[in-house]
Amino acid sequence: MSASTTHDHGHGHDDHGHHDDGGYHATIKGYVIGFLLSVVLTAIPFWLVMGRVLPSPRATAFVILAFAAVQMVVHMIYFLHMNAKVEGGWSMLALTFTVALVVIMLAGSIWVMYHLNTNMMPVVDPQVMRNMP
């Protein structure tokens, strides 16, 4: 019998309990790629603002927000190692649930504040305001 034979407990001696769960395994190459992408995704918006490349500040803001969203995805993939396979997909499900809750809370808050401002604020005539004590 050799040292790597299977015994009654179901694994060989060379196995050492390492099982490939199909998840992401961190490597130096992965960290370097994530770092370089992060640097590029930071440098381009900086250049857009400092060089006044786009015609309007609103367009610049939307482009910067798009770069920020892409950079968040890069950080989640390369540094937080999130994908659909890690932890049986539970981390991705938790992220999806969190994003849905944040969107609902933000949209609901903006909707409530807009309607409170529209429906509850009195319409004041400037003439009436001048005559007030």
Q: Is 6 helix (H, G, I), strand (E, B) or coil?
A: strand
| Residue 74 near residue 34 (C-beta atoms within 8 A) | yes
How far lies 3's CA from each of 16, 56, 59, 71, 84, in Å?
12, 71, 66, 48, 37
Mean per-residue pLDDT, 18-43: 82
The DSSP letter of residue 56 is S
Binned at pLDDT 50, 70 and 90, residue 67 comes out as very high
pLDDT digits (tens, 9 = 90+) for 38-60: 999 999 999 999 999 999 999 99
Give the integer Cα–Cα distance in Å for 80 and 92: 11
The DSSP letter of residue 12 is B
| Per-residue pLDDT, 24 | 57
How far lies 111's CA from each of 54, 98, 118, 120, 123, in Å?
31, 20, 11, 14, 20
With a threshold of 0.85, does the pTM exceed it?
A: no
The yes-or-no verdict on residue 23 having pLDDT over 70 is: no
Instruction: State percent of the chain over pLDDT 70.
Output: 76
| Residue 83 near residue 24 (C-beta atoms within 8 A) | yes
> φ and ψ at 12, to 5 degrees?
-80, 165
Domain edges within the chain: 23-81, 87-120
pLDDT digits (tens, 9 = 90+) for 82-116: 877 878 878 888 888 999 999 999 999 999 999 98
The yes-or-no verdict on residue 71 having pLDDT over 90 is: yes
Comparing 41 with 8, which gets the higher pLDDT?
41
